[in-house]
Amino acid sequence: MDDVHDPLAQLERSHRRLEEACEALSVAAREHDIETASDVCAFFARQVRRHEEDEERSLFPRLESAGASAELRALLARLTEDHRKHESLHARLEEAVSGRFEGDVWSELSLVAASLTEAYRAHLEEEERELLPAAKALLATDALDAMSAEMAARRGR
């Protein structure tokens, strides 16, 4: 399977874009650039939501049914919990960029950017160190093909 159609490679590419978005948000907060902060917020709402759906609806269930160890099952639960925490940070970002935040918007954006960067750094490291290698070891080509099709459908392809 080539990298373009490999769902695991697609998840890794998404990680790079997520890191870039966190960096862009940090710069936007420092430079008081609400337009870029809004763009990053939209990225999280669209791309990151789909990425997490790809993991939770396509990857995680396949790993569980492919004989995931107790350690891997615990990792899947932890990563799912992380996703809920990320959603909370995304909501804070949305509130800040939408004008509904009643305090110092730039301080809040700086805090949210730092929190997201820290949270995603640890999360992505764990996924790339443990989750993706386990997926490569456990999932057969037909499972990866099915994942790829589901991911494409989420994107309207």
User: Where residue 148 sits, what CATH number does that domain have?
Assistant: 1.20.120.520
Q: If the chain, 157 residues long, is cut into consecutive pieces of 10 residues, what is the mean pLDDT of each piece?
A: 80 97 97 97 95 97 93 97 96 94 93 97 97 96 96 91
Q: What is the pLDDT of residue 4?
A: 62
* Structural domain for 87, as ranges: 7-154
Residues 85, 119 contacting (CB under 8 angstroms): yes
CA atoms within 13 A on the CB side of 136: 13
Does 25 reside within a domain? yes
Cα separation of 108 and 131, whole Å? Answer: 32
The structural domain count of the chain equals 1
CA atoms within 13 A on the CB side of 91: 6
Does 1 reside within a domain? no
> Among 16, 153, 133, which residue's Cα sits nearest to residue 63?
133
**pTM for the predicted model, two decimal places:** 0.91
